[in-house]
A and B are shown apart, each in its own frame.
Chain A
Amino acid sequence: MGKKKNSLTPTTFSLLHATDFADRQLYNIVPPLKAGMIVLADRYAYTAFARDVARGVDRRWVRDLYSFAVRPDLALYFRVPIDVSLDRLMARRVKLKFYEAGLDMGWSQNAQESFRIFQGKVLDEYDRLIDEFGLSVVDASQAITDQQQFVRGLVSRQLERPTLVETAVNQ
């Protein structure tokens, strides 16, 4: 709806994503957790903390906004330099998405240039989050098999912890 008209402000962008997250938490996150299952979340509240603050919303406000979110048992941050992520996106697709490239901010008319500026700010915010929320950093410029091996090690150690119910099933 809003995205097509390019009419979202940093705050309405942030609030709409929080609304979507609240809806997904209610239907897709809490029920499987209650059933003792493992929930794999491709992006979580941390994406909002990095992306929305890069757009200019207040750091504390967006953290308070997501205080209803369940805190993950393990949060993986796949860190990669901007050039690598840009190269990978270019290899997959022709056109950068409007908001993904931060074109709503008006920093540059050129999508690639805008992406570079915006994602630079996003990465700076992620770096703050590592210590603040104890994110586990994965070097995403490595080969996929190496990353996967490392991630499996982290997940295995997490699952061996006695805090998680033993009946957890992998779906």
Chain B
Amino acid sequence: MIPMAEDFQGANGNIQPGRYYGHGLPYLPIEHYPGKIIAVEGTDGVGRSTQIRLLREWLEVQGYGVVETGWTRSALMQPTIELAKSSNTLNKLTFVLLYATDFADRLEKEIIPALKAGFVVLADRYIFSALARAGVRGVDRPWLRSLYGFAIAPHLVFYLKIDVDTLIRRVLSARGMDFWESGMDLKGGDDIYDSFRTYQNKLLREYNSMSDEFGFRVLDARRPVDVIQEDLRRQVQAFLSSSDIGVEGPENSTRQLG
């Protein structure tokens, strides 16, 4: 193995919202962009997408321009990732790199242009879900943080925290357990319930350990949807009103990027 330098700069340590975590993209300087990144993190089935939809509506009513971004939505990588998932030919390292490529594509083509134009970027999962999933699969954590050193530290990261028992009941009553969300690729056995419980427990531990590392704002996701949303809006409001972002929004606030 080619050893990694000890003083590498990655997605950890010195975090300044709106700046690159690590070395960043030397060819894309991003200082003083007016837009903001608000990330909502949490495991599958925790209610992330619902909260983001409600938050978006509220922000737009207030006059902010909003752009949404989420995993595997990049034009470049979506077909490839879907193919890889269905054909089961990739190992964990190649999966991690494909996801990183998807993120990089969205960062350069959606997120950075939106920040430059003064939008609020709502990220339905940011780099942390990718870090958690890869960490659970045994991929080297310092390497992962170096890999995502080109990511921009969000201004706010909300973590929807839930316990595994509540999660299981919620997932089962909504749509059932999915192969990947149950970590069936880890081959811990044929029982999807047992696999889901073991996998999600490990995943939740990864998220919890990142909470301090990346400064998550923890929201108790066991509460009713409207109570969580109220909490979310209060914190977002406090942040945006103390920031330099304009409530008039950018020139065309209904513009869709990407």
Q: Do A and B come from one complex?
A: yes
Complex Cα distance, B108 from A2, in Å, reads 15
Q: Knowing A15-B101, A64-B8 touch, does A7 contact B76 (C-beta < 8 A)? A: yes
A11 to chain B, nearest CB (A): 5
Complex Cα distance, B3 from A33, in Å, reads 19
Contacting residues, chain B, for A64 (C-beta < 8 A): 4-5, 8, 10, 143, 146-147, 149
Contacting residues, chain B, for A63 (C-beta < 8 A): 2, 4-5
B104 within 8 A of partner (CB): yes
Residue of B nearest to A9 (CB): B108
Q: Knowing A15-B104, A65-B146, A67-B3 touch, does A60 contact B97 (C-beta < 8 A)? A: no
B254 within 8 A of partner (CB): no
Query: A11 near B25 (CB under 8 angstroms)?
Result: yes
Contacting residues, chain B, for A55 (C-beta < 8 A): 27
Query: A58 near B97 (CB under 8 angstroms)?
Result: no
B188 within 8 A of partner (CB): no
B1 within 8 A of partner (CB): yes
Q: Knowing A60-B8, A65-B147 touch, does A1 contact B104 (C-beta < 8 A)? A: no
Q: Knowing A15-B104, A58-B24, A61-B23 touch, does A67 contact B93 (C-beta < 8 A)? A: no
Number of interface residues of B (CB under 8 A): 35
Residue of B nearest to A23 (CB): B94
Complex Cα distance, B93 from A19, in Å, reads 8
Contacting residues, chain A, for B93 (C-beta < 8 A): 22, 26, 68
A69 within 8 A of partner (CB): yes
B88 within 8 A of partner (CB): no
Query: B143 near A61 (CB under 8 angstroms)?
Result: no
Complex Cα distance, B95 from A26, in Å, reads 13
Contacting residues, chain B, for A26 (C-beta < 8 A): 91, 93-94
User: What 1/0 mask marks residues of chain B from 86 to 105 whose CB sits below 8 Å from any chain A CB?
Assistant: 00001101100110110011
Contacting residues, chain A, for B5 (C-beta < 8 A): 60, 63-64
A66 within 8 A of partner (CB): yes
B80 within 8 A of partner (CB): yes
Complex Cα distance, B99 from A12, in Å, reads 11
Complex Cα distance, B91 from A67, in Å, reads 17
A31 within 8 A of partner (CB): no
Query: A71 near B2 (CB under 8 angstroms)?
Result: yes
Query: B100 near A15 (CB under 8 angstroms)?
Result: yes
Complex Cα distance, B70 from A145, in Å, reads 55
Complex Cα distance, B94 from A26, in Å, reads 10
- Beyond A23-B91, A45-B2, A58-B23, 12 additional contacts (C-beta under 8 Å) are A7-B75, A11-B150, A16-B101, A26-B94, A56-B26, A56-B27, A57-B25, A60-B23, A61-B146, A64-B8, A64-B10, A71-B1
Give 22 CB contacts A-B under 8 Å. Answer: A1-B76, A7-B76, A9-B109, A10-B25, A10-B27, A11-B104, A12-B105, A15-B101, A15-B104, A26-B94, A56-B26, A57-B25, A58-B23, A58-B149, A60-B9, A61-B149, A63-B2, A63-B5, A64-B146, A67-B3, A67-B4, A68-B1
